[in-house]
C-alpha cells in the first residue's frame, strides 16, 4: 500500500487507500471488502452498511454541469436528481454525482427551561426518536447554542409524527417532543457556495 488517509464529519466517514502501480487490484479489493465486513460488527447499530468502491485514474469526470435558473434552490436540487436518475439508466455512464443544492433536514430546537422542568435529557430525546422507528432525514437538537446530532436515514413528510413522540412521563401523562421543543421541517445550513455566470449558487 502506498498511502492511507481518512476524514470524518457528522454522520459520514471516508477512508482512502492508494496502492502502488502494478498492484493486483481485484485481489486487494476483495481483501478490503473482507476487512470492512468484519469491522462492520464494531460499528453502531444504526450505522449504514459501509461501501467499498474502486476509483481509477481514468474514472475522473468527463463532464461537469452547473444548474441555475429562476427556481428555488430546492426545486433546482429536485431537477438535478431527476436528471441523475435518467443518466444512471444509461449503461455507458459509469456514475453520476449531484453536488450542492439544499438538503432537507428536520431540526429539533429544544427549550432548556422546559427540559429542566421535566427533568428530560438530550440523550432521552435522541433515544426516544430512534426507538419510535420514524423515518426522517435527520436534524439537530439545539441547546445553549450547541448542536447535538440526532440524524437517521429516511424521510418524514409530516413533522406532526415527530411532535407526538413520547420522551417521558409525569403523573399527569406523557411528555411529548412538542412539550419541550419546536420541530422545524427545513433545510441544512448552507456552508459553501459556487459561482455560475456571475450568479451565486450553493
**Ordered structural domains, the chain, with CATH:** 1-60 (no CATH), 61-101 (no CATH), 104-187 (3.30.2090.10)
Strand 173-176 versus strand 166-170 pairing type:
antiparallel
Q: What is the pLDDT of residues 50-91, one digit of tens each?
A: 888 877 666 666 677 788 888 888 888 888 889 888 888 887
Measuring CA to CA, how many Å separate 13 from each of 10, 49, 101, 152, 166? 8, 12, 21, 15, 31
Quick check: pTM over 0.75? Answer: no
Q: Are 18 and 3 in contact (CB under 8 A)?
A: yes
Q: Which phi and psi (to 5°) does residue 200 adopt?
A: -90, 130
- Give the closest residue to 74 by CA, choosing from 34, 103, 52: 103
pLDDT category of residue 174 using cuts at 50, 70 and 90? very high
Contact 106, 150 (CB under 8 A): no
Helix (H) or strand (E) holding 184: strand 181-187
| Count of CA atoms in the C-beta half-sphere (13 A) of 139 | 26
Amino acid at each position: 500500500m502506498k498511502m492511507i488517509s481518512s476524514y470524518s464529519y457528522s454522520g459520514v466517514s471516508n477512508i482512502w487507500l492508494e496502492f502502488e502501480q502494478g498492484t493486483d487490484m481485484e485481489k486487494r479489493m476483495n481483501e478490503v471488502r473482507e476487512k470492512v465486513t468484519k469491522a462492520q460488527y464494531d460499528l453502531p447499530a444504526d450505522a449504514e452498511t459501509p461501501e467499498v468502491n474502486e476509483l481509477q485514474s481514468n474514472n475522473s469526470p468527463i463532464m461537469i454541469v452547473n444548474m441555475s435558473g429562476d427556481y428555488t434552490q430546492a426545486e433546482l436540487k429536485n431537477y438535478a436528481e431527476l436528471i441523475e436518475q435518467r443518466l444512471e439508466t444509461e449503461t455507458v455512464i459509469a456514475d453520476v454525482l449531484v453536488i450542492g443544492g439544499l438538503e432537507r433536514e428536520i431540526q429539533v430546537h429544544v427549550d432548556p427551561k422546559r427540559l429542566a422542568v421535566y427533568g428530560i435529557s438530550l440523550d432521552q430525546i435522541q433515544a426516544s426518536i430512534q426507538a419510535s422507528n420514524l423515518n426522517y432525514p435527520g436534524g439537530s437538537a439545539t441547546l445553549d447554542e450547541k448542536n447535538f446530532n440526532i440524524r437517521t436515514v429516511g424521510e418524514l413528510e409530516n413533522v406532526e409524527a415527530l411532535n407526538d413522540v413520547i420522551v417521558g412521563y409525569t403523573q399527569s401523562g406523557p411528555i411529548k417532543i412538542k412539550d419541550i421543543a419546536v420541530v422545524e421541517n427545513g433545510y441544512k445550513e448552507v456552508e459553501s457556495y459556487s459561482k455560475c455566470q456571475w450568479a451565486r449558487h450553493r
